[in-house]
Structure 1
Amino acid sequence: MRYLFILLLLPLLLPAQQDSYFVLRGQVLNAKTGSPLSHAHVGIPQRAIGTTSGYDGKFTLKVPEYYRGSELQVSYLGFKNFQRSIAGINGPLTVRLQPAPSMLQEIVVMDEQTIEDIIRKAVRRIPDNYPDYPTSMTGFYRESKTNSDQDYIYLAEGVLNLYKTSYKNDKEGQVGLVQGRQVTLVPEEELRNSTGFSSGHLAADRFDFVKNREDFLEEDNFGAYKYWVSNITTHNDRPVYVISFDQEAGDQRARMKGELYIDTSSYAFVRASFEILPDAQRKYNDYPLYTGNWKGNRYFVNYREVDGRWHLSEALREGTWRDGGIYTNELIVTEVKPGRGKVIPYMEQLDRNDRFLDRTGTYDEDFWTSYNTAPINDERLAETVRQLNNQDKATEVFDTTFLNTLRRQQDSIPQVQSQSQPGRDSFNISYAPGSPPVLRGASNWGFHFSYGAGVHFLPTEAAAYTLGVYTTSPEGTPILELTDNLEARNIEPVYQWALDITYQDRYLLRWTLARDLWNSIYRESAIGGGFQFNLTKRYRPFYVRPMAQFSRMFYARKLGEADNDYGNFEADDKTIKANKVNMYLGDRIYSWKFSLEMAIELNPSRELFVRGDYRVPFRHSDRVFLRERGRVFPKRAELTTNGQEVRAWREGVEGISPIAGTLPTYAITVGILLK
Structure 2
Amino acid sequence: MKKCLVFFFLLFGTIYAKAQTIILNGSVKDFDSKNFLQGVTVRVGETSTATDSLGKFKITVELTQFKQQGIRFTNVGYKQLFLNYTSDYTFDIELRASYVELAEVRIMGTGTAILKKAISRIPNNYPQRPYILTGAMGLQYLRNRSDLFNSVAIVQIYVPSYNANKQENVKLIQNKIDTITDKSLIFIKWIGGYLTVPHADIINNREPFITASKVKDFQYQLMQNRMYHDRNVYVINFSQRDSTQKQKATSGTLYIDTATYAFVGADISYFNVTRYGTLPKSKLQYHIAYSPLGNSWYIQEAFMKGNTIYKNENPTTITNYITSKIDTSNIKPFAYGDIIQENDITQNISKQGDSSIWLKADTLLSHSERYNYLSKLSADITDTIRTNRNSVKQKSSWLNYFTKDNFHYSLTFIKFPVNIVNSPTHISNFVKYGFQIGTYFRLYRSLFFQFEGSGNTGTDKINFSRYAFHLSNDIVLNESAHAITLAPYFGYNLLSIDEKNENKTGRANYFVYGTSGAYEITHNVSLLISVARNHFTLSGNTHFQPTNTTIFAGVLIKR
Q: TM-score, normalised by structure 1?
A: 0.48
Q: Which amino acid aligns with 2:295?
A: G
Q: Tell me if structure 1 keeps the 8 A contact 2:174–2:353.
A: no
Gaps of 5+ in 1: 1-32, 39-106, 389-443, 470-478, 481-493, 516-521, 557-570, 574-585, 626-657
Q: Tell me if structure 1 keeps the 8 A contact 2:423–2:543.
A: no
Structure 1 residue 259: Cα displacement: 0.6
Match of 1:256 among 226, 250, 255: 250
Q: Tell me if structure 2 keeps the 8 A contact 1:156–1:356.
A: no
CA deviations on 1:105-131 (whole Å, 9 max, x unpaired) are: xx997432xx11221221121111112
Q: Tell me if structure 2 keeps the 8 A contact 1:451–1:672.
A: no
Q: Tell me if structure 2 keeps the 8 A contact 1:144–1:152.
A: no
The 5-angstrom pairing of residues 223-372 of structure 1 reads 223-248=216-241, 250=243, 252=245, 255-277=249-271, 281=272, 283-285=274-276, 293-322=280-309, 323-339=313-329, 341-361=331-351, 364-365=354-355, 368=358
Match of 1:200 among 193, 201, 204: 193
Identity %: 18
Matched residue of 1:168: which SS?
Answer: helix
Match of 2:151 among 156, 173, 195: 156
Q: Tell me if structure 2 keeps the 8 A contact 1:153–1:186.
A: yes
Q: Which residue of 1 aligns with 2:109?
A: 111
Alpha carbons of 1:174 and 1:293: their partners in 2 closer, same or farther (altered >3 Å)?
same
1:196 and 1:168 map into 2 onto residues whose CA distance is 35
Alpha carbons of 1:229 and 1:371: their partners in 2 closer, same or farther (altered >3 Å)?
closer
The CA RMSD over aligned residues, in Å, is: 5.4
Q: Tell me if structure 2 keeps the 8 A contact 1:140–1:373.
A: no
Structure 1 residue 155: Cα displacement: 0.7
Alpha carbons of 1:132 and 1:379: their partners in 2 closer, same or farther (altered >3 Å)?
closer
Structure 1 residue 501: Cα displacement: 8.9
Alpha carbons of 1:668 and 1:266: their partners in 2 closer, same or farther (altered >3 Å)?
same
Q: Which amino acid aligns with 1:239?
A: N
**Matched residue count:** 410
Q: Which residue of 1 aligns with 2:140?
A: 144
1:503 and 1:142 map into 2 onto residues whose CA distance is 35
1:249 and 1:669 map into 2 onto residues whose CA distance is 47
Structure 1 residue 342: Cα displacement: 0.8
Q: Tell me if structure 1 keeps the 8 A contact 2:307–2:316.
A: yes
Q: Which residue of 1 aligns with 2:130?
A: 134
Structure 1 residue 507: Cα displacement: 11
Structure 1 residue 260: Cα displacement: 0.5
CA deviations on 1:468-507 (whole Å, 9 max, x unpaired) are: 95xxxxxxxxx99xxxxxxxxxxxxx99876779999x99
Q: Which residue of 1 aligns with 2:8?
A: none
Matched residue of 2:340: which SS?
Answer: coil
Match of 2:518 among 581, 593, 599: 599
Matched residue of 1:299: which SS?
Answer: strand
2:334 and 2:413 map into 1 onto residues whose CA distance is 28
Alpha carbons of 1:347 and 1:667: their partners in 2 closer, same or farther (altered >3 Å)?
same
Matched residue of 1:131: which SS?
Answer: coil
Match of 1:624 among 533, 543, 554: 543
Q: Which residue of 1 aligns with 2:163?
A: 168
Alpha carbons of 1:152 and 1:271: their partners in 2 closer, same or farther (altered >3 Å)?
farther
Larger-Rg structure:
1
Match of 1:177 among 172, 188, 197: 172
Alpha carbons of 1:667 and 1:380: their partners in 2 closer, same or farther (altered >3 Å)?
closer
Structure 1 residue 312: Cα displacement: 1.8
Gaps of 5+ in 2: 1-44, 51-104, 383-404, 427-431, 443-447
Structure 1 residue 301: Cα displacement: 1.0
Alpha carbons of 1:258 and 1:381: their partners in 2 closer, same or farther (altered >3 Å)?
closer
Q: Tell me if structure 1 keeps the 8 A contact 2:252–2:267.
A: yes
CA deviations on 1:558-600 (whole Å, 9 max, x unpaired) are: xxxxxxxxxxxxx969xxxxxxxxxxxx985565897764434
Matched residue of 1:127: which SS?
Answer: helix
Matched residue of 2:203: which SS?
Answer: helix
Structure 1 residue 152: Cα displacement: 6.2
Structure 1 residue 165: Cα displacement: 2.3
Q: Tell me if structure 2 keeps the 8 A contact 1:451–1:673.
A: no
Structure 1 residue 555: Cα displacement: 12
1:606 and 1:379 map into 2 onto residues whose CA distance is 35
Match of 1:122 among 118, 121, 139: 118
CA deviations on 1:297-321 (whole Å, 9 max, x unpaired) are: 1111111122311122221110112
Structure 1 residue 273: Cα displacement: 0.6
Matched residue of 1:121: which SS?
Answer: helix
Alpha carbons of 1:284 and 1:235: their partners in 2 closer, same or farther (altered >3 Å)?
closer
Q: Tell me if structure 1 keeps the 8 A contact 2:172–2:338.
A: yes
1:551 and 1:134 map into 2 onto residues whose CA distance is 55
1:451 and 1:530 map into 2 onto residues whose CA distance is 18
Structure 1 residue 275: Cα displacement: 0.9
CA deviations on 1:59-83 (whole Å, 9 max, x unpaired) are: xxxxxxxxxxxxxxxxxxxxxxxxx
2:494 and 2:452 map into 1 onto residues whose CA distance is 12
2:258 and 2:317 map into 1 onto residues whose CA distance is 34
2:542 and 2:433 map into 1 onto residues whose CA distance is 22
Alpha carbons of 1:284 and 1:238: their partners in 2 closer, same or farther (altered >3 Å)?
closer
Structure 1 residue 198: Cα displacement: 1.3
The 5-angstrom pairing of residues 555-570 of structure 1 reads none
Q: Tell me if structure 2 keeps the 8 A contact 1:164–1:174.
A: yes
Alpha carbons of 1:672 and 1:330: their partners in 2 closer, same or farther (altered >3 Å)?
same
